[in-house]
A and B are shown apart, each in its own frame.
Chain A
Amino acid sequence: MSAVCLRTEQLRKHYGGLRAVDGVDLEVREGERRAVIGPNGAGKTTLFHLLSGEVPASGGRILLFGRDVTRLPSFRRAALGVGRTYQVTNLFPRLSVLENTLLATLGLRREKYDPFSPLAKHREPMEDARRLLEEFGLWEKRDWPIGSLSYGEQRQLEIILALAGRPRLLLLDEPTAGLSPAETQAVTQLIRGLDSRITVLLIEHDMDVAFQVAQRITVLHFGRVLAEGTVEEVRANPEVQAIYLGSGEL
């Protein structure tokens, strides 16, 4: 049995009276592919914000590789190996494709503090950036401003940024949102092809993608875990079927 990558204990987030995340217990093993699904407003993205450290928790604990990171700011969690993508594309608008990628490859290196030598002199982050961009076929467009890329390419860049730091835990927030069927297939293949040592947590509205990629599924509803199990178990769960009734998703 592989080690536990991520565990949350009674994780809570309150906004005044609103309980966005209301006592979530989660345990994800290293190398697991876990999908988090649920209706809009179930607290999925808020959960990701709590896991990444971008939003402080109101209560409960978060353990990463056995270590309590509940109070740790996001940049320290990144150093521990957390990477994430965003539901709404969160790139650096006025920078070029290459500059976006370089920021990602420099993020965990001491070289980021160099105030004097030109960027081009920094071979390793440059090579890493080149490799990533070539893998995704974006190297030719490296000097383009982000705004000139298609939406699908921007979503690809989102994933590049998350992968650049060689994360051990990858949080993907609706990676296929707004993509064409072909692009969605490409992303699905990509996720399936990721190194098996990386733990992947995936928020998805597209059930096909979720069922293709995930080994286990956690269903959130009103900030709580409604059901959890393998794909078949969750599909067969009557409560889960009820909340999706009418949408024909399952």
Chain B
Amino acid sequence: MRPRGLWWVGVGVVALALPQVLPLYFTHLVLLTMIYGLSAMSLDVLAGYTGLTSFGHATYFGTAAYTVGILTTQHHLPPALAAAAGVGAAVLLAAAYGLLATRAVGVYFLIITLALGMGTWGLAYRWSSVTGGDNGLPGIPPLDLGLPWSMAEPRNLYYLVLAVFCVAAFLLYRLVHSPFGLTLRGIRESEGRMRMLGYNTWLHRYVAFVVAGGFAGVAGVLYAFYNRFVSPPDLHLAASAEAVLMVILGGAGTLFGPLAGAGIVVFLRNLVSAYTQRWMLILGVVFVLTVLYAPQGVAGGARALWARWRGHAPAPRPQAEPRKEPVAEP
């Protein structure tokens, strides 16, 4: 695996040097890419690996961000504590919603996560006394962890986010290559078969749901301290849909593909918004084009090419269709 290791070292060097070498603009974009990338990667565990496409992923991202916002601006808790509480809130919410969402699979699961997500949005939007309503929560303090460098400075925050991202990405990488990760893929391919082999598939799906929500929460906490402002759009259906697009654009079931997908969306959004107000229109078009012409995404397409080049008889890849029956076996 020598070339592989070299590749990661190269990426690491670029990542570390970036803020010193490129304009601040790029630092911001890469920072955002890591934050949304982490969210997309955690969604990939659920959608790409387990075959459960959620249209409510931003709910956990947003809830963590809001928790940080509320605790720091209204209760003046130290940032580190608020950060921990943020992740905790995301995990608890995922644990609660997960009990409902995992009652089903397939498109039914999709609808339920969508509904739960927008219900939570409604809370953020209308519960003004707590969430600031439509105005959101401005004035989140920087993530002061007692380090000698100020986290109000984007270049410094970049390194902190990079560190957190690397740890989180490493954990996710180990997860998908572990026995548990294999069971998730087995469930995606044939849940009935898995049950006949002795797996309590509901439990596996539930754990995947909570884990995905938890890592989205980590991303949400980072977002709150980067953006210093959180508002209802952060957990709207559009945000959840963007996460799904990042996964598909990058390649579902590849883990790092969605990171690339996040990068594409972040850079594209920045580029487009400089020239026109019609970002949502472009987003919709990209969505449609991706489904029509590149359903495997960037990494998925690359993988197929790689397998063919290595000489495996090219197996006809079935379309990425998780499940037909909407409700899971009780």
Interface, chain A (partner B; CB < 8 A): 52, 54, 73-75, 78-79, 83-84, 90-95, 99, 102-104, 106-108, 111-119, 122, 125, 143-148, 161, 164-165
Give the Cβ gap from B192 to chain A, nearest Cβ, in Å: 6
Flag whether B318 is at the interface (Cβ < 8 A).
yes
Given contacts A54-B192, A103-B186, A107-B199, contact A119 B313 (CB under 8 A): no
Q: Which residues in A have their C-beta under 8 angstroms from that of B185? A: 92, 94-95, 99
Known: A78-B198, A104-B197, A108-B198. A115 touches B190 (CB 8 A): no
Q: How far is the CB of A92 from chain B (nearest CB, A)?
A: 4
State whether A114 and B312 are in contact (beta carbons under 8 Å apart), knowing that A78-B197, A95-B189, A103-B197 are contacts in the complex: no
* Cβ contacts under 8 Å, B182 to chain A: 99, 102-103, 106, 119
Question: Beyond A92-B190, A116-B174, is A74–B179 a contact (Cβ under 8 Å)?
Answer: no
Other than A74-B329, A90-B193, A115-B181, give 11 A-B pairs with Cβ distance below 8 A.
Answer: A54-B192, A54-B195, A54-B196, A92-B186, A107-B194, A112-B183, A114-B180, A118-B178, A125-B179, A147-B316, A148-B313
Smallest CB separation, B300 vs chain A (Å): 11
Establish whether residues B318 and A93, one from each chain, have CB atoms under 8 Å apart when the complex forms: yes
State the 7 A-B residue pairs at the shortest beta-carbon distance, nearest first: A147-B315, A107-B197, A107-B198, A92-B189, A78-B198, A145-B315, A148-B313
The distance from the CB of B199 to the nearest CB of chain A, in whole angstroms, is 6
Residues on the A chain within 8 Å of B186, using CB:
92, 95, 103
Query: Which B residues are in CB contact (< 8 Å) with A165?
Result: 197-198
| Chain A nearest CB, measured from B27 CB (Å) | 32
What count of chain B residues pass the 8 Å CB interface test? Answer: 33
Instruction: Report B-chain residues with C-beta under 8 Å of the C-beta of A91.
Output: 190, 193
A93 to B180, CA, bound (A): 18
In the complex, the answer to whether B198 meets A144 with C-beta atoms within 8 Å is no
Q: Which residue of A lies closest to B185 (CB)?
A: A95
Minimum CB distance partner of B313 in chain A: A148
Nearest-neighbor residue (CB-CB) of B189 within chain A: A92
Q: Which residues of A contact B197 (CB under 8 A)?
A: 75, 78, 103-104, 107-108, 161, 164-165
Which residues from chain B contact A118 at a C-beta distance below 8 Å?
174, 177-178
Instruction: For chain B, residues 304 to 326, give those with C-beta under 8 angstroms from any C-beta of chain A.
Output: 312-313, 315-318
- Is B175 positioned at the interface, with any CB of A under 8 Å from its CB? yes
The 28 listed contacts between A and B (C-beta, < 8 Å) are A54-B195, A54-B196, A75-B201, A79-B198, A84-B196, A90-B193, A91-B193, A92-B189, A92-B190, A93-B189, A94-B185, A94-B318, A95-B189, A103-B183, A112-B179, A115-B174, A115-B178, A115-B211, A116-B171, A116-B174, A117-B174, A122-B179, A125-B179, A145-B315, A146-B315, A148-B312, A161-B193, A165-B198
Q: Are A119 and B192 in contact (CB under 8 A)?
A: no
Residue of B nearest to A80 (CB): B198
Residues on B with C-beta less than 8 A from A112 are 179-180, 183, 199
The answer to whether B198 touches A52, judged by C-beta atoms less than 8 angstroms apart, is no
Residues of B within 8 A of A (CB): 171, 174-175, 177-183, 185-186, 189-190, 192-201, 211, 312-313, 315-318, 329-330
Cβ-closest chain B residue relative to A105: B197
CB distance from A89 to the nearest CB of B (A): 10
Q: How far is the CB of B54 from chain A (nearest CB, A)?
A: 19
Decide: A54 and B180 in contact? CB cutoff 8 A. Answer: no
Question: Once the chains bind, are B179 and A111 in contact (CB under 8 Å)?
Answer: yes
* Complex: A143 Cα to B189 Cα, angstroms: 17
Complexed CA–CA distance, A54 and B196 (Å) = 8
Residues of A within 8 A of B181 (CB): 115
A92-B185, A94-B317 as given contacts; A115 in contact with B180, CB under 8 Å: yes
Contact of B175 among A73, A106, A115, A144 (CB under 8 A): A115
Partner of A74, one of B174, B190, B196: B196
For the complex, give the distance between the alpha carbons of A161 and B194 in Å: 10
Give the CA-CA distance A145 to B314 in the complex, in Å: 9
Q: Which residues of A contact B193 (CB under 8 A)?
A: 90-92, 161
Which residues on B sit within 8 Å (CB–CB) of A161?
A: 193, 197
A143 to B211, CA, bound (A): 29
B313 proximity list for chain A (CB < 8 A): 144, 147-148
CA distance A118 to B189 in the complex (A): 21
* Residues in B whose Cβ lies below 8 Å from that of A145: 312, 315
Most chain A CB atoms below 10 A, which of B175, B182, B190, B196: B196
* Bound-complex Cα distance A90 to B189 (A): 10
Complex: A119 Cα to B174 Cα, angstroms: 10
Residues in chain B near residue A78, CB distance under 8 A = 195-198
**A117–B189 CA distance with the chains assembled, in angstroms:** 22
Asked whether A114 lies within 8 Å of B178 as measured between CB atoms, the reply is yes
- With a cutoff of 8 Å between Cβ atoms, the chain A residues found around residue B200 in the complex are 75
Contacts of A108 in B (CB 8 A): 197-198
How far does the alpha carbon of A94 sit from the alpha carbon of B115 in the complex, in Å?
31
Contact B196 A114, beta carbon cutoff 8 Å: no
Distance between Cα atoms of A114 and B190 in the complex (Å): 20
